[in-house]
Amino acid sequence: MLNALCSRSHDQSVFVGLFANKWLWGAIALSALLQVVVIYVPFLNTAFGTVPLSAGAWVECLGLAMIVLVASELRKCVLRAMHRR
């Protein structure tokens, strides 16, 4: 989901016009909601082979997902610096 935000522009920061695309935010919200439902609704646990996550596991997942955002922002920063020269 963070990659979808990062992919909106090849060289512009993800934070520029962050809330401009309401459809993208709707898709991200729906995706997050469905993931939480599959993780925490017992009969869906069985169907999808999932188990509820602890708070620590959520922090780990979010931390790892942030790597995509940080790497993308660094790449875009380098591209902008190269373009200015």
Q: Is the pLDDT of residue 53 over 90?
A: yes
Burial classification of residue 46, based on how many CB atoms lie within 10 Å of its CB (0-12 exposed, 13-18 middle, 19 or more buried): exposed
Q: Is the pLDDT of residue 75 over 90?
A: yes
Binned at pLDDT 50, 70 and 90, residue 10 comes out as: confident
Whole-model pTM? 0.81
Residues 6+ apart with CB under 8 A from 80: 11
How high is the pLDDT of residue 51? 94
| 25 touches 38 (CB < 8 A) | no
